A and B are shown apart, each in its own frame.
Chain A
Amino acid sequence: KAGVTQTPRYLIKTRGQQVTLSCSPISGHRSVSWYQQTPGQGLQFLFEYFSETQRNKGNFPGRFSGRQFSNSRSEMNVSTLELGDSALYLCASSLGGRGADTQYFGPGTRLTVL
């Protein structure tokens, strides 16, 4: 099976712009979670989508949003970019069932905000 794919791999934006990141999960996986990794804060949970609905949400401002399509592909949007949004954005997919559910990560999108 193909793994989780993320596009683009690298992005450079300027403050105030918006950005959309894309994630294609492993075939058959219905849950997609998004994480932000920064040197200071480590890996932090943004949100999770399951069957096109947001099922869990982390402590990030409303500038961070996402959605999931009927084929389980997901997009994440960040509006009004700030310098502090520079980070590695990771998505992970899983079957999404209740109970022990292993997440598999994509390679990430490196976002640089200038």
Chain B
Amino acid sequence: DQQVKQNSPSLSVQEGRISILNCDYTNSMFDYFLWYKKYPAEGPTFLISISSIKDKNEDGRFTVFLNKSAKHLSLHIVPSQPGDSAVYFCAASSAGSQGNLIFGKGTKLSVKP
């Protein structure tokens, strides 16, 4: 049973527009959420995270929103750039199991010039 779900396998957006990647989770014990960007045959690169005590975190063009009641988080990229094209993974952890990240299956983002 998937505890972290990314229901959109792919997303295509135009350069300069907003990219919104979504993630749902089922385990209410999760208290820390992260987004990673990954290219084929490389390790994931950390982008941004959010603790469950917050509902928003910003870092440059990247903003993560957390809706605990809906068990939903989203990553907004504004403006999108062709270099953002990659697979994006949502991950979650819970207190006491921080070393164990539960990953979604990923969303492939394509940003077209």
Chain A residues proximal to chain B, CB less than 8 Å: 4, 6, 31, 33, 35, 42-45, 48, 50, 55-56, 58, 88, 90, 92, 94, 96, 98-108, 110
Contact = CB atoms under 8 A, between A and B. Distances in A.
Given A44-B103, A100-B32, 12 more contacts: A33-B99, A35-B101, A42-B103, A45-B100, A45-B102, A58-B100, A88-B41, A92-B43, A100-B31, A102-B49, A107-B43, A108-B41
Given A31-B99, A102-B34, A43 B41 contact: no
A42 B106 contact: yes
8 contacts: A42-B103, A42-B106, A43-B91, A43-B101, A43-B103, A90-B43, A99-B32, A105-B36
Interface string B64-81: 000000000000000000
Interface in B3-45: 31-32, 34, 36, 41-45
Given A88-B41, A105-B45, A98 B95 contact: yes
Interface of B: 31-32, 34, 36, 41-46, 49, 51, 89, 91, 93, 95-106
A99 B106 contact: no
Contacts of A99: 32, 95, 98
Contacts of B51: 100
B30 to A, nearest CB: 12
B102 A104 contact: no
Nearest to A42: B105
